[in-house]
Structure 1
């Protein structure tokens, strides 16, 4: 399996690509394929998070937090109208960081689930 196979993931940033290559550096091709299959199912696309965040400015706020498995923050945003839109605007600016943190955790959980780390 080619090290650039992670590049096919939608919306992948260079930092995430390098981190995934380093994480799977010692994996066999079969292990990389299994990891990729599990990780693809758990990973979130940054554009999806941004779109859901922007929907919170005109509709129900906090959808993006629910997608990132941050249920408590999602409920808080829902009842406070995105912390009076300030929290939603901040999240819209920082959507890449929010998504990267979620995806990094998802990669570690995927590797642990498969017993590779």
Structure 2
């Protein structure tokens, strides 16, 4: 497993996805990818914390964090869709972060012409 050596904080589906993405890459390209990807990826735990803030402060901050501006505004105006949307996002926070991180990984790979 190449990825575990470079990014031990990854787990589960994200680790497998990044591992497949980097499978045929030379070591120097992997190191470049890892540096850029680590700078841009969103930590699932931080996403969960931001969703929790929606109960006690402003709902939707977690949506802005991953670039869903329209949904963030909707969450602010509807108190997280009456808290139901916030609860669903807290339950699915890992999948929510993985979806964002998968998009970022593909962008990074494309930018580096790998």
TM-score normalized by the length of structure 1: 0.91
* Residue aligning to 1:64: 62
SS of 2:34's equivalent? helix
Give the structure 2 partner of residue 105 of structure 1. 103
Q: CA deviation at 1:14?
A: 1.7
Give the SS at the match of 2:59. Answer: coil
For 2:74 and 2:6, how far apart are their aligned partners in 1?
34
- Tell me which residue corresponds to 1:114: 112
CA distance in structure 1 between the partners assigned to 2:16 and 2:73 by the alignment: 34
Q: Give the whole-Å Cα distance in 2 for the aligned partners of 1:14 and 1:21.
A: 11
Report the aligned-residue RMSD.
1.1
Q: Deviations over 1:70-111 (max 9, x none)?
A: 111111101111011110011011101100100000100010
Q: Where does residue 51 of structure 1 map in the other structure? A: 49
Counterpart residue number, 1:77 = 75
List structure 1 runs of 4+ shifted beyond 3 angstroms.
none
- Which structure 1 segments of 5+ residues have no match? none
Measure the CA separation in 2 of the matches of 1:87 and 1:72: 14
Give unpaired runs (5+ residues) of structure 2: none
Cα distance in structure 2, aligned partners of 1:49 and 1:105 = 16
Q: 1:6 deviation in Å?
A: 4.2
Give the TM-score of the pair, scaled to structure 2: 0.94
